[in-house]
Amino acid sequence: MIKGIWNWFWSPTAKYSWGAILIAGGMAGIIFWGGFNTFMEYTNTLKFCISCHEMEDNVYKEYQTTIHYTNRTGIRASCSDCHVPKPWVPKLIRKVQASKEVWHKVLGTIDTPEKFDAHRLQMATNVWDAMMSNNSRECRNCHSFEAMDSSKQERRAKKRHPKAVKKGQTCIECHQGIAHELPEGADDYEFSK
């Protein structure tokens, strides 16, 4: 019985054995998976993010003046650190959502500084809403209340962080505009959980 199954598995079909077909299919799957993941990681690079002039001419210039770009410790948070989840399934979902942004790039929705500024509040609120819904997950990849040394914080942060913990607040409720200029109308935005 086992010998019969073994012979069937390795016996030729019209041209190839089932084993060869399965091995070739497995290798093709591995190559596809490797290529797919490599491309996903490439789209997380700063080089990729600023490859379109809308990002390079607008938000990248702002980001270069922030503590996330240059700081005393030399640690840099790039675009993907704040805008792309680390877990694989949320990352894949975010990449699918990004296709809408690519579509607007093709349409020219934000291809001038004036158009970009006209859409800035909507783009910012999309990010803020996402951060509210995931408890500022991307912020927490680097920052956590538990790891904060309040003795090294400025007086205002020392006072507000314990209150934020007690209220169950998330980072974005206080820290909008940390890496980009706040858009006009941001003061009217209502955070809701």
Q: Which residues pair with 12 in a beta bridge?
A: 17
Answer whether residue 12 shows pLDDT above 70. Answer: no
pLDDT tens digits along 142-158: 998 888 888 888 999 99
Q: Name the band, by pLDDT with cuts 50, 70 and 90, for residue 30.
A: very high
Overall pTM surpassing 0.85 (yes/no): no
pLDDT of residue 8: 66
In this predicted structure, what is the pLDDT of residue 80?
93
3-state SS assignment for residue 54: helix
Residue 173's CB is within 10 A of a number of other CB atoms, namely: 16
For residues 95 and 44, give the distance between their C-alpha atoms in angstroms, rounded to a whole number: 10
Residue 99 predicted with pLDDT over 90: no
> What CA–CA distance (Å, rounded) separates 43 from 57?
19
Spatial distance between the Cα atoms of 17 and 138, rounded to a whole number of angstroms: 48
Amino acid at 173: E
8-state DSSP, 154? -
pLDDT of residue 4: 75
For residues 128-155, average pLDDT: 91
pLDDT at 65: 92
pLDDT digits (tens, 9 = 90+) for 77-95: 999 999 999 999 999 999 9
Beta bridge partners of 17: 12
Mean model confidence pLDDT for the chain: 88
**81 within 8 A of 142, measured Cβ to Cβ:** yes
- Please determine, for residue 68, whether its predicted confidence score (pLDDT) is greater than 80: yes
CA–CA distance, 12 with 14 (Å, rounded to integer):
6
* φ, ψ dihedrals at 189, nearest 5°: -70, 130
Dihedral of CA 102/103/104/107: which sign?
positive
Reduce the DSSP state of residue 82 to 3 states and report it. Answer: helix
Which pLDDT band holds residue 54 (cuts at 50, 70, 90)? confident
Q: Which residue has the higher pLDDT, 108 or 3?
A: 108
Q: Is the pLDDT of residue 10 over 80?
A: no
